[in-house]
């Protein structure tokens, strides 16, 4: 099972904390992906055969977002390609 959560400023801490702790109790969960639109980050947590969790975060602008549960990868630079920056957003990476 793969769960993907798109975070907002108000849900980021909960998504990384209590919500992930609850999801980790699901035996079928293999990957938990957090997409932070504002920070342009994709954080992937993968369960190992020993039930440990490995963290992966591709570098902005390079690498791939790999979703092992689906056997799919997306180039990082395409992940936010069609995301329109919010008014007042001045992060240079948002327009790359």
Q: What is the pLDDT of residue 86?
A: 66
Q: Confirm whether 89 is domain-assigned.
A: no
Q: Confirm whether 92 is domain-assigned.
A: no
Total-model pTM: 0.77
Q: What is the pLDDT of residue 31?
A: 95
66-84: per-residue pLDDT in tens? 888 899 988 888 888 888 7
Q: What is the pLDDT of residue 47?
A: 95
Q: Confirm whether 77 is domain-assigned.
A: yes
Question: What are the distances in angstroms from CA 96 to CA 23, 49, 51, 56, 89?
Answer: 33, 37, 36, 21, 13
Q: Which residues of the chain, if any, have pLDDT below 50?
A: 90-96
Q: Which of 75, 4, 76, 1 is nearest to 40 (CA)?
A: 76
Strands 64-67, 72-75: pairing is antiparallel
Q: Confirm whether 17 is domain-assigned.
A: yes
Structural domain boundaries enclosing 13: 2-82
Domain count, the chain: 1
Q: Confirm whether 55 is domain-assigned.
A: yes
Q: Which two tokens stand for residue 83?
A: 């995301």
Q: Confirm whether 35 is domain-assigned.
A: yes
What distance separates the 2 farthest-apart alpha carbons in the chain? 45
């Amino acid at each position: 099972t793969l769960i993907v959560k798109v975070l907002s400023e108000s849900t980021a801490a909960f998504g990384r904390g209590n919500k992930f702790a609850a999801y980790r109790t699901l035996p079928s969960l293999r990957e938990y992906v957090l997409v932070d639109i504002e920070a342009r980050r994709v954080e992937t947590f993968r369960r190992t055969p020993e039930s440990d969790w490995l963290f992966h975060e591709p570098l902005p602008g390079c690498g791939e977002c790999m979703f092992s549960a689906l056997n799919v990868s997306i180039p990082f630079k395409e992940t936010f390609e069609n995301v329109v920056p919010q008014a007042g957003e001045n992060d240079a990476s948002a327009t790359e």
